[in-house]
């Protein structure tokens, strides 16, 4: 039996959608951290359980009769402790295999979001030291994040971000969910660490060019100072943590931290990942 954590989240729901296509509901369990989420999953006809990462008793109940867990990382600032609880409970329950969603980045020590993202690598080490069979999926940045980065008027205005000429091998979240679900049902991934990335890398200049070509509007990319960007975010009401996350992530793009390309996701999908034209049209609802 396979257990999927965070099944009401964006990545988790994409994993579940693919499992429903290639497997049956008696082969996997889905969890949510709250009762409303569990009810939503049950209403979809799924075998759902409560799994609150800060409540060991709920984890013990959720993990019964499970052989493999997909631990989808949370965004909580205390997430290493949450992930540690999952690993400890999995080991105590005799679970055989844990699959963890981490981060594809060149050097976490020089990252603009090190304080938050280093917990991924702390979790990786903790899983390996636990003695559990593991698979680490270091996921690149979701293409879906571009809707937030570029804003709701992205089709009609310049891209003003401090990203330099950095590039990212974007992949759609649904592609990552599909690839992850496929991996969960396969053998041969034991004690492996994979970078899960798109088939090609793109910068903001590339994205501006594609939007211009699709819409007929002239969209330019302007590499603005980081302080100007932070000031803009503060002006429109972003809280400090959101400013840290957005500006730190774009700093990592500028310093080429995400420029890691592999064919692993392509192989899991049995096709190349979506082209830049495809994901721009999909994300911004361009027919």
The model's pLDDT over 50-72, given as tens digits with 9 standing for 90+, comes to 999 999 999 999 999 999 999 99
* pLDDT digit string, tens, across residues 64-102: 999 999 999 988 778 999 999 999 999 999 999 999 999
Q: Report yes or no: 141 and 258 within 8 Å, Cβ to Cβ.
A: yes
Total-model pTM: 0.94
Distance CA 31, CA 33 (A): 7
CA distances from 167 to 172, 198, 250 (A): 15, 11, 10
pLDDT at residue 287 in the model: 76
2-141+171-198+260-274 falls under which CATH superfamily? Answer: NAD(P)-binding Rossmann-like Domain (3.40.50.720)
Does pLDDT of 285 surpass 90?
Answer: no
Which sequence spans correspond to the domains of the chain?
2-141+171-198+260-274
Distance CA 88, CA 142 (A): 29
Does pLDDT of 239 surpass 90?
Answer: yes
* pLDDT digit string, tens, across residues 129-157: 999 999 999 999 999 999 988 988 889 99
pLDDT at residue 75 in the model: 82
Q: What rounded mean pLDDT belongs to the chain?
A: 94
pLDDT at residue 74 in the model: 86
How is residue 278 written in tokens? 């495809």
How confident is the model over 171-189, as a mean pLDDT? 96
Q: Report yes or no: 172 and 275 within 8 Å, Cβ to Cβ.
A: no
pLDDT at residue 76 in the model: 78
Distance CA 68, CA 237 (A): 42
pLDDT at residue 142 in the model: 95
Q: Please, which pLDDT band fits residue 286 given cuts at 50, 70 and 90?
A: confident
Q: What are phi and psi of 230, to 5 degrees?
A: -60, -40
How confident is the model over 231-253, as a mean pLDDT? 94
pLDDT at residue 280 in the model: 93
How is residue 261 written in tokens? 């390309």
How is residue 193 written in tokens? 């660490």
pLDDT at residue 240 in the model: 93
Beta 167-168 vs 202-203: how paired, if at all? Answer: antiparallel
How confident is the model over 1-27, as a mean pLDDT? 93
How confident is the model over 162-190, as a mean pLDDT? 97
């Amino acid at each position: 039996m396979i257990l999927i954590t965070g099944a009401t989240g964006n990545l988790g729901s994409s994993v579940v959608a693919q499992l429903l296509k290639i497997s049956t509901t008696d082969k996997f369990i889905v969890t949510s951290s709250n009762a409303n989420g569990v009810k939503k999953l049950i209403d979809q006809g799924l075998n759902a359980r409560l799994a609150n990462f800060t409540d060991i008793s709920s984890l013990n109940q959720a993990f019964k009769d499970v052989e493999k867990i997909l631990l989808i990382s949370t965004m909580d600032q205390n997430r290493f402790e949450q992930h540690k609880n999952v690993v400890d409970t999995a080991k105590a329950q005799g679970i055989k295999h844990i699959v963890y969603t981490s981060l594809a980045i060149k050097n976490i020590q020089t990252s603009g979001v090190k304080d938050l993202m280093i917990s991924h690598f702390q979790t990786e080490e903790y899983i390996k030291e636990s003695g559990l069979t593991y698979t680490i999926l270091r996921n690149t940045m979701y293409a879906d994040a571009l809707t937030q980065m570029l804003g709701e008027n992205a089709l009609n205005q310049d891209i003003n971000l401090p990203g330099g000429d950095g590039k990212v091998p974007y992949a759609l979240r649904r592609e990552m969910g599909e690839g992850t679900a496929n991996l969960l049902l396969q053998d041969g991934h034991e004690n492996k660490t994979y970078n899960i990335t798109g088939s090609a890398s793109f910068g903001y200049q590339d994205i501006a060019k594609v939007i211009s070509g699709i819409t007929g509007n002239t969209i330019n990319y302007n590499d603005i100072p980081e302080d100007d960007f932070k000031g803009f975010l503060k002006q429109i009401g972003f809280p400090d943590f959101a400013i840290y996350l957005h500006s730190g992530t774009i700093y990592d793009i500028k310093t080429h931290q995400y420029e890691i390309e592999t064919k692993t996701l392509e192989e899991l999908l049995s096709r190349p990942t979506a082209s830049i034209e495809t994901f721009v049209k999909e994300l911004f609802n361009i027919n």
